[in-house]
Structures are given as C-alpha cells and as structure tokens.
Homo-oligomer: A and B are copies of this chain.
Amino acid sequence: MSLEKNYRMTSQRKVILDELRNMYSHPTADEIYIMVRSILPRISLGTVYRNLEILSKMGLILKLEIDTHQKRFDGNSKKHYHIQCINCNRVYDINPKTVKINYSEDNPDGCKIIDYCIHFIGLCKECIEKDSICNTNFTDRSGLDGKKAEKPNFR
C-alpha cells in the first residue's frame, strides 16, 4: 500500500523536460508554454503547470522561488546557487565554488536552523557585454526599484 502515484511519461511531459534540460536559463511556466507550443501546438497552460509540478515531485527538475511574482524552473535537479539579472530578469546558475556560507545551527535567539535559501542579484554575462558596447550603465541601480525589466528572449 503505497501513497505514490505511478507517473507516466507522456509526450507532453517528455517535451517539457527536454526543453528545460536543453536550456541555459531558467524560464517561467508561461515561457515554457510558449516554447513547448511550437512542438505541441494543442498543449494547454494548465498541462504545463501540472507537469512542472509533477516533474519537480519526481526529482527531475527544480522549482525555483527566486522571482516573487512567478515561479521559475531548472532542468538541473541538483541543489545549486542562482543569480537573477537586474537588467533582463533571467535566472542563471552560479559557480558554487565562489560562495561560502557559515552559520551555527543553534541561534542565540532560540531558533534552530535546518537549511537556508540564497540567491544572488547582479548582471549576467550577456547584459554586461551589451553594457560595455552601449554605455547603458546598468550598474547604477538607483530608480530601478520596482521597474519591470525587458522581457527576456530565452535561448
């Protein structure tokens, strides 16, 4: 008597997984929906959401909660760090060797730390290159708060 579901590998699920695994960036559900529709034009957004949920339950992908107003998904299911670009909003992997975090499990306030979530904010390679060509001066963040960045063209 198992509580597990016998998940099936449908064509929809397979295409979503493949698309995600072939990407460098970590897209939102609606971005994945657009990509997958070029292969399966009749797929629905609900199916995309359901499959992303199941694939992450199966441990095949990662659900990222970096963006507060939209979830993002990562075809690499091993835990690692991410950076969100302040210019294009895309999310990329960060080399874990460049980061060190130290904390004591037992906090003087009486809390017990079990795990942590960290993500970085900065500029991606592509936008840095664009910056040095166009002189758009991204590194000045003043007045950027709350403004919507350009929609990323993924891939």
Interface residues of A (CB under 8 A from B): 65, 68, 71, 83, 85-86, 92-95, 97-104, 107-125, 128, 139, 141
Contact = CB atoms under 8 A, between A and B. Distances in A.
A146 to B, nearest CB: 8
A95 B121 contact: no
Contacts of A109: 92-95, 125
Contact of A114 (B102, B103, B122): B122
Contacts of A125: 109-111
Contacts of A116: 118-121
A103 B98 contact: yes
Contacts of A112: 122-123, 128, 139
B115 A92 contact: no
Chain A interface SS verdict (over half): strand
A118 B66 CA distance: 11
Given A100-B102, A113-B83, A114-B86, A107 B121 contact: no
A117 B107 contact: no
A85 to B, nearest CB: 8
Given A98-B104, A99-B102, A114-B141, 15 more contacts: A65-B68, A68-B71, A83-B107, A83-B111, A83-B113, A98-B103, A100-B100, A100-B102, A110-B125, A112-B139, A114-B122, A114-B139, A115-B122, A116-B120, A117-B120
